Structure formats: structure tokens, C-alpha cells
Amino acid sequence: RLHHPSATASHDQAHTTRRVARAAARHRRSRGARTKRLGSHGDLRLERRDRGRLLHPCTSHVVPVRRRNQGDLAHHQQLRQGNARTCTGSRGVLCAVRATKETRKQPVIHRRLTASMRAKKRCHRWCGHCKALQPEYEKAAKALEGIAKVAAVDCDAHGTLAQQHGVQGFPTIKMFSVDAKGKQQVSDYNGGRTADALVDYVLTSLKKQAKAKLGKGTSSGKGGSSSGGGFYPASSDVVMLSDEDFEEQVVQDDDVWFVEFFAPWCGHCKALKSDWMAAARQLKDKVKVGAVDCTGPGQSVCQKYGVQGFPTLKLFNKGAKSSPIDYQGARDQASITEFALQFWVDTSGPPEVHELTDHQVFVDHCLGKEGKAKVSKCFIAFLPDILDTGASGRNEYIKALQDAAAKYKSRSYAFFWTAAGMQNKLQTAVEVGGYGYPGFVAYAPKQNMFATHKGSVSADGLDPFFELPSGFVEVRGAFPVLDTVAAWDGLDGELPEDEFDLDELLRED
């Protein structure tokens, strides 16, 4: 809304001013909207209605704001010969009442505040976020001088260029580079809006390009990327992934993968971090858990899978890696683990029941390395000698163990078996063998404790023991090293040949 409050104007000018003021007061009372001060020029005050309407100074009525070169523009320009002048901006047409002969000769200019950016970005000069970014962007430009060129594009003046690069919001920051094959690469920057984050991103991208030209990757000893700003520590069970190894690690792998697409500056990602690491520990040896930094060396992967927000969680099932499942559940460890485990149970085959032929078998599936247990409970069956049961009887016991393993495969369990007398040190450690076979033991590797089942060996008798074993006692001393023995061949046993002459025994008698 525009009006002229000067008390020194001519009678006609004062009359027009009063008409404008009265009309403004009436409209303000009727609409109840506030006005916004746009600026001033000489004795003129420029104001705009919040609801997108202006007071027409010639007719004293409110008219809509129109785009330049539309509608009333020709009429407004006629005012240049009378008692008003016009100004046009990219967002509308404004009118102002002329105060004096001097101001009539001076153009009334409506200008929006600008944020003169110097960056690889597309911006609108009126954008508040662009203004906030300006000092940090200038710091980054100064720090990157001689390393990378930093530029800016004013999208008000160069709208066609912005459209060519698909700019939809402001500020949009893009990285233009050339890969090892000489092909131009354009990537969107979605990182933090600080000088440090911008510089880190550029340096990481340049390092990646240099490594690519050398034919080397940036993977770590865990088989995943070492980038990501140390967001997940190397000691965690979360595998860091990048554009270079995602295809090999995830897509070509036969295991199920649960992957987080994140940005290090994202508050929700930081809140999820501890739960994601805890879920990775719980899902170990069942579902592999990974993470991709979408602001660093994982940008191409994030774009490929349509990541639009952070964190985005996707589950990649074996045989259908091109169509991952989006996780929409709660962002806590229990919910994430339950979802992944249930999916693993529904899609995976029955777990294996391992024969204890050497110590390494028990380490790989129960004890783990360096004190990091693979599971929470290890169930060991000590079966009767093959001569007592035959092959069919032993297979029945093994089948019962397989059924239990399938029933409880969502739990952190592992199942083993050995024949009586084959692992004597283990039998002594867990106090099995004095009351006959078969014997069943539950071993907790983290606590080095065991519980013995002394009830019925039928399915009904064993089920409560597998469901909730109790009566744990500590193993005396360290867990024994298992003996290396031959695996069962699946056949019935044979009686040993006589090592003495029966006739000789009879003659002795």
C-alpha cells in the first residue's frame, strides 16, 4: 500500500493524499491485514499488503498486484505524465504518488535485498537461506582458492540456466567435475551449510577423483568405505559403503543387507546412530548392516535409489537387490531388529546344526574371535554312540535339533552335536556323561556359564529348555580347546574285529 503523508504538497496533491489515506484506512479495517514496509524514495513511502494487494493511488481502491508486462502496466505507465510514477519488480507492479516536481523526475525503484553469493550454486537474491549461507560460503571460497573454483548464479537474472540444471530450491549447490575418463560429472551437495563442511566435501571429492585416476579405491580393511567423517567407528558392526564398493558388497552379495542412507549433519541421523549400531550387533551373522554417506563418496548410490530425506533405511533382499524394501517403522533398536529378523526368518532356509569336529567350528559359530561372542546361547547335544542307536536313531536326534533350530532361528542361538566320548574335555567341563546319553547343554559364551537339561529328551521335554534355559553355573576355568575328530560318515557303526584267538583262551582254561 502506497501513500504520501507530506503536509507541504499542493492542494490537489493533498486532496489525493487524503483520498488515499481514507481508502487505506477503510480497507485496513475491513480486511484486518498488516502492511509491510518495502522502502522509501524521497518523500514517498512504499508499502505492500501482506495479502498481495496494492492501493491504486489514482482511483483510491485496492487492486491486485500483477506481474510485470500484464494488465494495468500500460495504465500505470500513463501515470508518469500525471501525479504518480511507476516501478516494476520481478514480483509485481508498484505505484507511488508523486510528492514534488523534483521527485517526479526521479524514478521510484523497488529493490529486494540481495545476498551476493559467490559459489557453485544457483540462488535467488531474496532467499533467506542464501543470505544465511553467504558468510560461510565466502569463507569456503577463500579457503579453496587455488584448489577449486567457486562460483554463483543469480537465478533471477539467469532463469534458463537454472532450469537446465533442474534447480527447484534455493540455495542449490552443485559440484561440477571431470572423472578419470574425461566425462563431466555433476553432483548435488546435501551437506552442512558451514565453511568446514563445504571444504571437506570438495576435498573428499577431489581425493576420490585422484584415487580413481590411480585405479585405487578408498575402501577400508572391513571391506567398506573408510569415509563418512568417522560417523560410525571402525569398531562397530556397521559397514561403511560407498559408490565404489556398493555394487560388490551389497548387490552381488547373497546375504540380506539393511542399509542406512544418511548425512553426517542430519540431527535425526545422529539420534539414530546408537540404535543402528546396537541393531547391527543383534543382527550379526543373520542380516548385514551398512551405511552410506550421501554427502560424501556415496552420492551416486543415494541418487540411484531415490534417497530424498535422511535417514532413509532400505532392506536389500537376496535375489531382489534392485528393488529394496523401504523401512517405515520406528527408529529404535528393538523395532529395527524385530523387522530385520522377521524378514530374515521368513525368507531364509533352516539354520545348520553343526557337528563338533574341531575347535574352529565352535569358534566360528559360538565363541567368536577376541571375546566377541557370535550368539547369546549355544546348545550342544551329546548323542549316544553309533553302535547304540544306529544311523537311523542318530538321524532322529539330529532331526529334533534341526526342528528346534528352525523354530528358534530368530533368536541368537546356535546348535551343535557330538557323539559320546568324542569330546571328553568338553564333557568334563560341562559335567556330562555320568548319567547316560543323550545329554543336552546350553552354554552362554559371554558369561562362560552352562546349564544342563535333565528332563525328558522328547520334543515336549526339550522345548521348555530351548525356550528358556535356567540353572546356569560357571564353567570351571577357561573353556577347553576341543579335539579334532573325524566327521560322522552317516553310516551305521561296525563292531571291532576280535584281537584274540578264542581257541587260545579255551586252551588256557
Which CATH number does the domain housing residue 422 bear?
Answer: 3.40.30.10
Q: Which DSSP letter does residue 80 get?
A: G
Is residue 307 domain-resident?
Answer: yes
Which strand (E) or helix (H) includes residue 64?
A: strand 61-64
Query: Do 136 and 157 belong together in one domain?
Result: yes
Query: Last residue of some domain: 302, 329, 347?
Result: 347
Is residue 484 domain-resident?
Answer: no
Average pLDDT over residues 242-264: 91
Is residue 274 domain-resident?
Answer: yes
Q: What is the pLDDT of residues 440-489, one digit of tens each?
A: 999 999 899 999 987 777 777 788 888 888 889 999 888 899 999 999 99
Is residue 22 domain-resident?
Answer: no
* Band of pLDDT at residue 36, cut at 50, 70 and 90: very low
* Band of pLDDT at residue 498, cut at 50, 70 and 90: low
How far apart CA 9 and CA 313 sit, in angstroms, is 68
CA separation, residue 205 to residues 148, 152, 212, 233, 235 (Å): 11, 19, 11, 21, 25
Average pLDDT over residues 86-103: 36
* Band of pLDDT at residue 53, cut at 50, 70 and 90: very low
Q: Answer for the pair 291, 258: CB distance below 8 angstroms, yes or no.
A: no
Query: Do 279 and 377 belong together in one domain?
Result: no
In this predicted structure, what is the pLDDT of residue 133? Answer: 86
Query: Last residue of some domain: 166, 194, 209?
Result: 209
Higher-pLDDT residue of 104 and 411 is 411
Query: Do 251 and 342 belong together in one domain?
Result: yes
| Closest to 249 in 3D by CA, of 292, 304, 204, 185 | 292
Predicted confidence (pLDDT) at residue 290 exceeds the cutoff of 80: yes
In terms of average pLDDT, the best of 113-127, 340-354, 385-399 is 385-399
- The whole-chain average pLDDT of the chain stands at 75
Predicted confidence (pLDDT) at residue 67 exceeds the cutoff of 60: no
Higher-pLDDT residue of 464 and 92 is 464
Average pLDDT over residues 498-505: 59
* Band of pLDDT at residue 81, cut at 50, 70 and 90: very low
> pTM (2 decimals)?
0.46
In terms of average pLDDT, the best of 66-70, 232-236, 430-434, 488-492 is 488-492
Is residue 59 domain-resident?
Answer: no
In this predicted structure, what is the pLDDT of residue 46? Answer: 41
Is residue 439 domain-resident?
Answer: yes
How far apart CA 364 and CA 357 sit, in angstroms, is 12
Query: Last residue of some domain: 209, 229, 247?
Result: 209
Average pLDDT over residues 367-381: 86
HSE at residue 12, side-chain half, CA atoms within 13 A, is 7
The range of the structural domain enclosing residue 176 comes to: 128-209
The neighbouring-strand residues paired with 154 are 123
Tell me how many domains the chain contains.
Answer: 3
Is residue 309 domain-resident?
Answer: yes
Average pLDDT over residues 38-65: 41
In this predicted structure, what is the pLDDT of residue 436? Answer: 74
Which residues are the active-site residues?
127, 130, 266, 269
Is residue 508 domain-resident?
Answer: no
Q: Answer for the pair 409, 351: CB distance below 8 angstroms, yes or no.
A: yes
In this predicted structure, what is the pLDDT of residue 319? Answer: 76
Share of the chain above pLDDT 90, in %: 28
Average pLDDT over residues 354-369: 92
* Band of pLDDT at residue 71, cut at 50, 70 and 90: very low
Predicted confidence (pLDDT) at residue 83 exceeds the cutoff of 90: no
Grid cell for residue 246: 556398493
Higher-pLDDT residue of 160 and 332 is 332
Predicted confidence (pLDDT) at residue 117 exceeds the cutoff of 70: no
Predicted confidence (pLDDT) at residue 427 exceeds the cutoff of 80: yes
In this predicted structure, what is the pLDDT of residue 361? Answer: 93
Count other Cβ atoms within 10 Å, centred on residue 156: 17
Query: Do 327 and 365 belong together in one domain?
Result: no
Lowest mean pLDDT among 322-331, 448-457, 495-504: 495-504
Average pLDDT over residues 11-31: 67
Grid cell for residue 194: 558451514
Query: Do 384 and 449 belong together in one domain?
Result: yes
Grid cell for residue 154: 543469480
